[in-house]
Amino acid sequence: MLEVKQISVSYGLAPALWEVSLSVRDGKIVAIVGSNGAGKSTLMKAISGLIHPGEGTIEFDQRRIDHLPPHQVARMGIAHVPEGRRIFPHLTVIENLKMGVLPIKGQKRAQEILNNVFNLFPILAERQRQLGGTLSGGQQQMLAIGRGLMSDPKILLLDEPSLGLAPIIVDMVFEVITRLNSQGQTILLVEQNAFLSLEVAQYAYVLEVGRIVLEGEATKLIDDPHIKKAYLGE
């Protein structure tokens, strides 16, 4: 579904990614594991069109997208849930969710997706008239994921969904990620919490200082000595 081929990204003279390649197959969870500053969020922004790589290509559904603006990437079926949630604090929950709807989906399909989001996150249905900025951090993360799902994406990009959340809420968010995948949702997951991301993913890449240094089946990477030492504290 998604093929990133040898992309390099720089911010001015400062390089952020070097010749990064990865692929995401339909219906899978692929995790990108790495510490702060490794380039994980830059990679997500490059895929969603927020920045453009200086070298390399990105293909989605066999179409090159690395030159497209974000709104065209979104229309193709890529939804980006950014780090820090980035909800609209002065809009209500229902207004935030409706901001994620693509006009091409039509009202009937949009209502079906909204019902699915409310089934996934019942608290959002209960608080749909509440301002987004007054929700707890965990509820705001649910809202951010729900807004991403409102576009009915082929692939969901999740950037640090556990960031700043209490452990019990983190567990719930990852249960939702697993549930979405069981329903057929393809997910590219960026996470500092290596253990949780490797537990839910089928395949994973390790990104260090802008380069992919390791990749493989997630269950095997959990037992890799490098992963244990660098990310699992063993």
Domain boundaries, the chain: 1-77+155-164+190-234
pLDDT tens, N- to C-terminus, the chain (234 residues): 999 999 999 998 899 999 999 999 999 999 999 888 889 999 999 999 999 999 999 999 999 999 999 999 999 999 999 988 899 999 999 999 999 998 777 788 889 999 999 999 999 999 999 999 999 999 999 999 999 999 999 999 999 998 888 899 899 999 999 999 999 999 999 987 888 899 999 999 999 999 999 999 998 998 888 787 777 655
DSSP label of 77 = T
Beta strands in 73-220 (DSSP E): 78-81, 155-159, 186-191, 203-208, 211-217
CB atoms near residue 103 (< 10 Å): 8
Q: Which amino acid is at 89?
A: P
For the chain, the farthest-separated pair of C-alpha atoms sits apart, in whole angstroms, at 51
pTM of the predicted protein model: 0.92
CATH architecture of 1-77+155-164+190-234: 3-Layer(aba) Sandwich (3.40)
Pairing of strands 211-217, 203-208: antiparallel
Q: Mutual orientation of helices 167-182 and 106-120 as an angle, nearest 10°?
A: 130
DSSP label of 130 = S
- Look at residue 12 in the predicted model and tell me its pLDDT: 87
- Look at residue 22 in the predicted model and tell me its pLDDT: 97
- Look at residue 232 in the predicted model and tell me its pLDDT: 62
Q: Is the dihedral of CA 207, 209, 210, 211 positive or negative?
A: negative
CB atoms near residue 225 (< 10 Å): 8
CB atoms near residue 42 (< 10 Å): 22
CA-closest candidate to residue 114, choices 103, 101, 123, 126: 101
